[in-house]
Amino acid sequence: QVQLVESGGGLVQAGDSLRLSCVASGRTDLMTAMGWFRQAPGKDREFVTVIDWSDGSTTYADSAKGRFTITRDYAKNTLYLQMSSLTPEDTALYYCAVRLYSGVFRDHRYYHYWGQGTQVTVSS
């Protein structure tokens, strides 16, 4: 079992930057991928980005490319999402998630544990 705690959300203006963090605890030795997903009111949960926990390779949604950066601190079991050039369309509840045992996926259904979410609101 893995526990995830996100932080760093808030209310910002369009064009601003924000950094989210997600600390993992428990069976972190089983983690193979950690991702960020988001969900806006009335919309489905959306993939943002994922990192291979072992080698640090990354994948981004088109909406995140060039603006968002996912990184990890392997020693601290901490995941980050640096977001820049934020727009109102980025407003959502942002979740970190972890996949155990094997694989790196964009599909949220393949993730085993989720954080509680942190709200990001971007005003125009």
pLDDT at residue 17, rounded to an integer: 98
Query: One-letter amino acid identity for 14?
Result: A
Strand-pair category, 78-83 with 18-26: antiparallel
Sign of the dihedral through C-alpha 27, 114, 13, 87 = positive
Q: Where are the beta strands (DSSP E) in 1-124?
A: 2-7, 10-13, 18-26, 31-39, 46-52, 58-60, 68-73, 78-83, 92-100, 113-114, 118-123
Start-to-end CA span in the chain (Å): 40
The answer to whether the beta carbons of residues 124 and 98 sit under 8 Å apart is no
* The token pair that represents 114 in the structure block: 């989720």
Render each residue's pLDDT in the chain as its tens digit; 124 residues.
Answer: 999 999 999 999 999 999 999 999 999 999 999 999 999 999 999 999 999 999 999 999 999 999 999 999 999 999 999 999 999 999 999 999 999 999 889 999 999 999 999 999 999 9
pLDDT at residue 76, rounded to an integer: 97
Q: Exposure pattern of 46-74 as b/e (b: 16+ CB <10 Å)?
A: ebbbbbbbeeeebbbbebbeeebebebee
